[in-house]
Amino acid sequence: MIRIDGSYLEGGGQIVRGAVAFSALAGVPVEISNIRKNRTNPGLAPQHIAAVRAVAGICGAECTNLVPGSTDIVFSPHDLTVRDIVIDIGTAGSIPLVLQAWLPVALAVGGRITVTGGTEIQKSPTIEYFDAVFCETLRNQGAEISVEVHERGYYPRGGGRVTVHIHKKELRALSPETSSEPVRIFSCSSRLPAHVARRQAAAAARRLSGTPATCTIDTREGPSAGSSCTVVAGRKGGVALGRRGYPAEAVGTDAANAFLEAYAEPGLADRHLADQLVIILASAGGMITTTRPTDHTKTMCRLAAAFGHDISLRERPGSIWEMAA
């Protein structure tokens, strides 16, 4: 049994998601205590429970205290098995964060999952970032991953629905090699006039100051109203969400600004992708470069060490950080 202090550093849901994923891959039980101890509402929220259930679905894990508000759980995995999993978060909780927990485990055996909740939520990657940055990075290393957005879900109602299908493939080690990647703009909305998404995209394109960019506009309907704009290139991205009374042009500009800030930082992987790739480095090996590690990244490296993986963090000249297994 490996014991993890859930209040370490970042002290949030990332520790829970990462710990159960590492546990499933290692086939070793884990006990997580002090979950979100220092948050305004300590303990598990529906989104965290959904992530644990998603990972448990692959490995038939037994879970104790997996209820809202719980600050201590035990996750006891069994053998990994290809399964078709259906998860309803029950709120507008983040679908991409649930998928972040499930995907590294599913890469080992393959499988499919459908999750209902929020596709674009505050303090979470959009589903476009998840697909075009995280999944695309893995596809470049040999993964076969498909992401299908059936409906979009926004706070507070949620109701978005996404299916991800993975075929078992041998991943190549992560590499810091550079490549010329086009800039892509994804502007999305649900239950809003179609011009909202078009205006977001146009504003993002203007802020990019003539940088060639492809644009995808998605105005499919869902049960909740909202909008988002995501700008990506290679292993970096920026996102922004619409809100009542906030101009569509401001949303597009915010997304472009977030992307430009990430693009200007040292390293090839942005700070948000870096923490997601720690468990991939532990499984597939290799090395990536990024900017100064966040608490999320340091937390994931500590989790990796608890499960026997040595992920090194080293600063190179030019404020570039190297993360290697």
What is the set of active-site residues? 296
Six-digit token pair at 306?
Answer: 């608890």
List 188's β-bridge partners, or say none. 218, 228
List the Cα angle 11/276/172 in 5-degree steps: 150
Nearest-CA neighbor of 267 among 241, 293, 304? 293
CB contact set of 302 (below 8 Å; sequence gap of 6+): 8, 9
Six-digit token pair at 1?
Answer: 């049994």
Which residue type is seen at 78?
A: H
Q: Please say whether the beta carbons of 240 and 254 come within 8 A.
A: yes
Q: Is 25 exposed, middle or buried (0-12, 13-18, 19+ CB in 10 A)?
A: buried
